[in-house]
Amino acid sequence: MGIDALRIEVQCDVSGGLPLFHVVGLPEKEVSESRERIRSAIKNSGLQFPAGRITANLAPADVRKEGVGFDLPIAVAILVASGQIPPLDEDLCLVGELALDGEVRGVRGVLPIAAEAASAGMIVPLANAVEAAVGSQGPVYPVRSLDEARRFLCREIEIAPFAVDCDELMRECTEDIRHDMAEVRGQMQAKRAIEVAAAGGHNLLMIGPPGSGKSLMARCLPEILPPMSFDEALEVTRIYSIAGLLDGPSLVGRRPFRAPHQTISYAGMVGGGHGVPGPGEISLAHHGVLFLDELPEFDRRVLETLRQPLEDRTVLLSRAGVSVRYPSSFTLIAAMNPCPCGYLGDALKPCVCSLVDVRRYRKRLSGPFLDRIDLFVEVPRLSVEDLFHARPADGSDAIRRRVSDARRRQWDRLASEQDCHSNAQLDGEALERHCPLEEDASLLLQRAVARFALSARAHVRILRVARTIADLDGTDDLSAAHVAEAIRYRTAGESLGEH
């Protein structure tokens, strides 16, 4: 359930009487329908579909079963019950959908199943072989057809266990850089903010007119984050496996970048759907970046649902009969225009919005939502000099090295803290302890709190961001310069909070 699989035991009984084929154990529609596929597949594989009454039970019987992966195990159970296959090792795990001609087709969510499979091994569709081998401890036997599975189980043929080189897979999917920070002209301040966001896992809101490079910079973020560890990649791959988004590469080794459209529904964002709820965008962005362009255009209710996952880094979806938990530890990058027309505060183009328009536009973002954003940065329109005479800027490679160093400092420092892996998660007493302020830095912070009437929460945000800036600098103590930069990222957002 969720990203963890549950072992289902398939039992089958063939008895005398009228020919009837039942599947019991809370099957959803697609599992009940499997009866027709299984019957045809068995007949068309040149095997006997036994006469009489057949009952297949999926135990434990009180959990709803969905998905087409039960086709193959039920078919094999029938063949065992009718003596066409010798009794199996009880720990053997099977998964696969059957086509009418007996071909075994790939299914979604094989990776979590593989992780749960015992050392007795598993039989999987050929299409899922790589995925299964990545996650499984035991041997993985890929099959193309029901008859191939039968012959293997009858020991008529040998199937070599499928093996993959996980290191090689990881290398393959992390090689090239797709978006390079060096491509972004100018915008030194915004780039710096992105770097800080990457280094500390902070959420960031960019405010600027259209065409200033907000989207491009956001797209660069996954590439300047340190590469995922294999365990992280496995966790992300599980989510993609469940969502059925795992086509092509069988391992998601690159940090995800999800940029849902503004019209996204609440179920699409946090997860949901028919039957057992599936993962939403926030889970697909796990260990990566969720980019919300044109933030105020999103349905306010959808944005409000993000508040809890942003805090807990996981989301619990409860429905009648089932509740599943998906991880959702992502960095939120949002972008918006300063006003509906986009040119408020622009040096050259006049803004045509009325004050009421601007206020209404900004009111779409609630205070509690904005409270969860650490960094605010203005992304002004590029000047002519920036466009045509841009100084060469740091590429993603160089930035990633700095970010990785800063992250390493955090990990070392936070190793003893529970459930806290980045500065963005620092809180309460731990925050105070890990943010030793130099004297003038402390003074500066006090003055800023008084001058800008900053809330306690804003104060906490500033400390966290200052901590990250110091980490990028490679120092343990927070200097006045670090705090000053952090305050700047805060004050850019203060105007948004005034409704």
Partner 1 sequence: MSEKTSGERAEAAACDLLRDCGYEIVARNWRTRRGEIDIVARDGPVLAMVEVKARSGQAYGRPEEAVDRAKQRRIVAATRAFLAATGCSLAVRFDVVTFLDGAPRLFRDAFQAGDECSHDS
Q: Please give the residue ranges that form the binding site for partner 1 (CB under 8 A).
A: 14-21, 36, 39, 43, 49-53
Q: Please state, in angstroms and rounded to a whole number, the distance separating the CA atoms of residues 147 and 361.
A: 62
Q: Which is nearer to partner 1, 17 or 392 (CB)?
A: 17
Q: Which is nearer to partner 1, 52 or 275 (CB)?
A: 52
Strand order, beta sheet including 140-143: 93-94, 122-125, 140-143
Kindly write down the DSSP assignment for every residue of 255-311, as one continuous string.
PPEE---TT--HHHHHEE-SSSPEE-HHHHTTTSEEEESSGGGS-HHHHHHTHHHHH
Rounded to the nearest whole angstrom, what is the least distance from the CB of residue 145 to partner 1 in the complex? 21
Q: Which is nearer to partner 1, 83 or 436 (CB)?
A: 83
Rounded to the nearest whole angstrom, what is the least distance from the CB of residue 13 to partner 1 in the complex? 12
Rounded to the nearest whole angstrom, what is the least distance from the CB of residue 151 to partner 1 in the complex? 23
Do strands 278-279 and 271-272 pair parallel, antiparallel, or not at all (unpaired)? antiparallel
Neighbours of 262 (CB within 10 A): 13
Q: Which residues of 189-210 are buried (b: 16+ CB within 10 A; e: fewer)?
A: bbbbbbbbbbbbbbbbbbbbbe
Q: Please state, in angstroms and rounded to a whole number, the distance separating the CA atoms of residues 245 and 273.
A: 15
Rounded to the nearest whole angstrom, what is the least distance from the CB of residue 119 to partner 1 in the complex? 37
Picking from 118, 83, 113, 102, the residue whose alpha carbon sits closest to that of residue 12 is 83
In the numeric block, which tokens belong to residue 487? 């305050």
**Total residues found in the chain within this entry:** 499
Q: Which is nearer to partner 1, 82 or 337 (CB)?
A: 82
Q: Please state, in angstroms and rounded to a whole number, the distance separating the CA atoms of residues 417 and 306.
A: 25
Rounded to the nearest whole angstrom, what is the least distance from the CB of residue 79 to partner 1 in the complex? 15
Q: Which is nearer to partner 1, 25 or 50 (CB)?
A: 50
Q: How far is CA 498 from CA 107, 240, 326, 358, 448, in A?
A: 50, 40, 34, 11, 18
In the numeric block, which tokens belong to residue 93? 């795990």
Rounded to the nearest whole angstrom, what is the least distance from the CB of residue 33 to partner 1 in the complex? 10
Specify the amino acid at residue 358. Answer: V
Q: Which is nearer to partner 1, 17 or 428 (CB)?
A: 17
Rounded to the nearest whole angstrom, what is the least distance from the CB of residue 42 to partner 1 in the complex? 10
Picking from 223, 161, 172, 170, the residue whose alpha carbon sits closest to that of residue 195 is 223
In the numeric block, which tokens belong to residue 384? 């002519």
Picking from 427, 393, 387, 422, the residue whose alpha carbon sits closest to that of residue 408 is 422
Q: Residue 474 region, left (φ>0) first, then alpha (ψ -120 to 50), else beta?
A: left
Q: Please state, in angstroms and rounded to a whole number, the distance separating the CA atoms of residues 361 and 28.
A: 44
Rounded to the nearest whole angstrom, what is the least distance from the CB of residue 101 to partner 1 in the complex? 16
Q: Which is nearer to partner 1, 52 or 345 (CB)?
A: 52
Q: Please state, in angstroms and rounded to a whole number, the distance separating the CA atoms of residues 490 and 452.
A: 10
Q: What is the DSSP letter of 331?
A: E
Q: Which is nearer to partner 1, 50 or 125 (CB)?
A: 50
Q: Which is nearer to partner 1, 20 or 398 (CB)?
A: 20
Rounded to the nearest whole angstrom, what is the least distance from the CB of residue 329 to partner 1 in the complex? 46
Rounded to the nearest whole angstrom, what is the least distance from the CB of residue 51 to partner 1 in the complex? 4
Rounded to the nearest whole angstrom, what is the least distance from the CB of residue 208 to partner 1 in the complex? 59
Q: Which is nearer to partner 1, 32 or 137 (CB)?
A: 32
Helices assigned H by DSSP within 108-262: 110-116, 129-135, 146-153, 166-172, 188-200, 214-224, 230-243
Q: Which is nearer to partner 1, 102 or 279 (CB)?
A: 102
Neighbours of 264 (CB within 10 A): 15
Neighbours of 330 (CB within 10 A): 27
Rounded to the nearest whole angstrom, what is the least distance from the CB of residue 83 to partner 1 in the complex? 11
Q: Please state, in angstroms and rounded to a whole number, the distance separating the CA atoms of residues 422 and 123.
A: 40
Q: Which is nearer to partner 1, 46 or 321 (CB)?
A: 46
Q: What is the DSSP letter of 85?
A: S
Q: Which is nearer to partner 1, 18 or 453 (CB)?
A: 18
Rounded to the nearest whole angstrom, what is the least distance from the CB of residue 14 to partner 1 in the complex? 7
